[in-house]
């Protein structure tokens, strides 16, 4: 799915209606005003991403796709990477963040910038822009910050923000550093308003307090009302947070979550959630999605909606080629075919999607489970074998001390933990 092929659904009377239908608006400033602004003319808007990890994840993808939809509707996106806010830390409801070093944050800024840029068009009439808030905060002295910006913030209001009050009410408390975060984010919006006439900030609904911090500041300093819009936190039908696979975040970077694993993640979305996911994470039209919804009702076991979702999102985030690779690998590795009957070429291309390790015959299976990342420790690996959950080339391993002794065509082997966690071993 290249940028050129993406479009909003023209069957909606107005762009705003599509956003609502896709469930992308959890909360916003005056809806009528915002709808009017989005349905007519061009406005400049931004979303901030803090470098808290070397890759963006699915939660960020929601934002990136909303950005892209707004761009397709003719608006101009600014991607803000939080080089300075990432140094301070957005207060989490649970506990204080561990500060990362400046070098690490700078490195992550680079990675996230590159990653986020893939989803937007940097050419044309309303090209995207990429900014780093370190550009306007780094040179700011503490005194200037307190005099020029801090003066506009009332502590009472800051304390009332949910992110802060939650922490004050917890036994962890909050540091002055994280308490100040909302001021920095508010200042970003003001700066972007001044530099680029940016009049809309988007974010996740958990960011609402930080979003309002910016609009309040602009209102105070510039006597101008700006817009805010927050996307809902995506949750599964069972109420759990969406975007975790085996307890780990699903990353957009292929190094952290392979295209195969990424595809599998989407393929495994529950029936109850799949239509909502299609609305949020794909550019499929309303009529296409409604047709898939009907399929979920009539023939849930075929999982056509899940297949469409997995194909679309994997193509979008990685590439159509990567998606096809993941589909092929899924077919080959999920039981339809006997592994031993697979041709060498099919087998090797399927395995290329999996985490892999080189090994010689005679290595212990338990150790290979660890080396491939299928298990966290040798103890855990032994446990998995004892529980009957480990397979080499689809044959159950029963002995905890079993050795690697059997390869398929192409001198490779398939190691499996449980039903669907796979890795490749290549004979060295």
Give the residues lining the site for RNA (CB under 7 A): 168, 171-175, 238, 240, 246-247, 264, 267-268, 270-271, 300-301, 303, 306, 330, 334, 370, 376-380, 382-384, 387-389, 417-421
Shortest distance, position 46 Cβ to RNA, whole Å: 32
- Tokens at residue 75, please? 């608006």
- Tokens at residue 320, please? 């159509």
Give φ, ψ of 30 to 5 degrees: -30, 110
Contact (Cβ atoms closer than 8 angstroms) between residue 216 and residue 222: no
For RNA, which is the closer residue by CB, 111 or 383?
A: 383
DSSP class per residue in 250-304: PBSSTTTS-HHHHHHHHHT--HHHHHHHHHHH----HHHHHHHHHHHHH-GGG-H
For RNA, which is the closer residue by CB, 85 or 421?
A: 421
Shortest distance, position 118 Cβ to RNA, whole Å: 25
For RNA, which is the closer residue by CB, 296 or 412?
A: 296
Shortest distance, position 293 Cβ to RNA, whole Å: 13
Shortest distance, position 62 Cβ to RNA, whole Å: 21
Cα–Cα distance, 401 to 239 (Å, whole number):
41
Cα–Cα distance, 264 to 339 (Å, whole number):
19
For RNA, which is the closer residue by CB, 77 or 243?
A: 243
Closest CA to 361 of 329, 332, 403, 324: 403
322-to-4, 373, 424 alpha-carbon distances in Å: 18, 21, 17
Shortest distance, position 408 Cβ to RNA, whole Å: 20
Cross-strand partners of 133: none
For RNA, which is the closer residue by CB, 11 or 379?
A: 379
Shortest distance, position 165 Cβ to RNA, whole Å: 11
For RNA, which is the closer residue by CB, 197 or 379?
A: 379
């Amino acid at each position: 799915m290249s940028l050129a092929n993406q479009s909003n659904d023209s069957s909606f009377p107005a762009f705003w209606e599509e956003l609502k239908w896709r469930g992308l608006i959890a909360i916003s400033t005056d809806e009528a005003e915002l709808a009017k602004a989005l349905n007519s003319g061009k406005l400049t808007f931004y979303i901030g991403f803090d470098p808290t990890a070397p890759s963006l994840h699915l939660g960020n993808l929601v934002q990136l796709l909303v950005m892209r939809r707004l761009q397709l509707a003719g608006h101009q996106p600014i991607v803000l990477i939080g080089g300075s806010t990432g140094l301070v830390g957005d207060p989490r409801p649970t506990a204080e963040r561990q500060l990362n070093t400046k070098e690490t944050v700078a490195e992550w800024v680079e990675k996230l910038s590159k990653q986020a840029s893939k989803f937007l068009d940097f050419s044309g009439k309303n090209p995207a822009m990429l900014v780093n808030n370190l550009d306007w905060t780094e040179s700011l002295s503490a005194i200037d910050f307190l005099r020029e910006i801090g003066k506009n913030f009332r502590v009472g209001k800051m304390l009332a923000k949910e992110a802060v009050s939650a922490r004050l009410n917890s036994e962890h408390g909050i540091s002055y550093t994280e308490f100040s975060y909302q001021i920095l984010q508010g200042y970003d919006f003001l700066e972007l308003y001044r530099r680029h006439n940016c009049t809309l900030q988007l974010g996740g609904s958990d960011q609402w307090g930080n979003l309002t911090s910016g609009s309040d500041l602009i209102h105070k300093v510039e006597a101008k009302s700006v817009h805010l819009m927050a996307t809902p936190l995506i949750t599964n039908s069972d109420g759990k947070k969406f975007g975790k696979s085996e307890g780990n975040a699903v990353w957009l970077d292929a190094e952290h979550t392979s295209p195969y694993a990424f595809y599998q993640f989407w393929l495994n979305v529950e029936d109850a959630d799949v239509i909502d996911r299609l609305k949020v994470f794909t550019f499929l039209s309303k009529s296409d999605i409604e047709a898939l919804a009907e399929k979920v009702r009539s023939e849930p076991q075929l999982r056509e909606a899940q297949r469409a979702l997995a194909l679309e999102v994997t193509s979008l985030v990685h590439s159509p080629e990567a998606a096809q690779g993941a589909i092929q690998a899924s077919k080959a590795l999920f039981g339809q075919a006997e592994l031993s009957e697979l041709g060498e070429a099919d087998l090797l291309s399927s395995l290329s999607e999996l985490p892999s390790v080189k090994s010689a015959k005679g290595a212990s299976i338990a150790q290979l489970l660890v080396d491939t990342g299928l298990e966290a420790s040798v103890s855990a690996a032994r446990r998995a074998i004892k529980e009957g959950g480990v397979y080499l080339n689809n044959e159950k391993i029963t002995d905890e001390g079993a050795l690697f002794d059997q390869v398929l065509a192409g001198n490779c082997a398939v190691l499996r933990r449980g039903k669907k966690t796979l890795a490749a071993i290549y004979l060295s």
